[in-house]
Structure 1
Amino acid sequence: MSGKMCSGSTSIIQTRKLVDQLRVEANMGRLKVYCQEHRRSDPLLTGIAASSNPLKDRKTCLLL
């Protein structure tokens, strides 16, 4: 029975450490540097022109 108590207390300690780490990360101040500096060239923010999109299918489909 002491084996179950030991593994249970270990998981509680690990969970507390994880919660503490997540609290520290959640309270960190974040800067939106990337979006501000690269917003004109970021395709996720501005989109891709149809003429320069390498993934666009260039074939047309004709129905007869």
Structure 2
Amino acid sequence: MEAPMLTGRLYSFLFQSLHLMLTIAMEALFFQFAFDQGRNVIYKHINQGNLWKHIKHKYEN
């Protein structure tokens, strides 16, 4: 029976305050944006020379 007590404490600590909940949501959005941008940079670096923008001049008339 510890799980309901633990989740109740977690809820009361994190989500009763609107300010804290908004801070957590903004941090999650920022992390998602930063992670996606980093992933795109790594993908473009690994595939340098193989992406359409690098080879389209070979196939356009």
TM-superposition CA deviations, 1:3-52 (whole Å, max 9, x none): 011111111011101100111111112421212322xx3xxxxxxxxxxx
SS at match of 1:4: helix
Q: What corresponds to 1:10 in structure 2?
A: 25
Query: Structure 1 segments of 4 or more deviating over 2 A?
Result: none
Q: Which aligned pairs between 1:1-64 and structure 2 lie closer than 5 A?
A: 2-28=17-43, 29-30=47-48, 31=51, 32-38=54-60, 41=61
Tell me how far apart the structure 1 counterparts of residues 42 and 57 of structure 2 sit (CA, whole Å).
21
Gaps in structure 1 of 5+ consecutive residues: 42-64
Which amino acid counterpart does residue 58 of structure 2 have in structure 1?
A: Q
Which 5+ residue runs of structure 2 have no aligned equivalent? 1-15
Task: Give the RMSD, CA atoms, in angstroms.
Answer: 1.8
The aligned length equals 39
Q: Look at both structures and tell me which one has the larger radius of gyration over its CA atoms.
A: 1
User: Hey, which of these two has a bigger chunk of helix by percent?
Assistant: 2
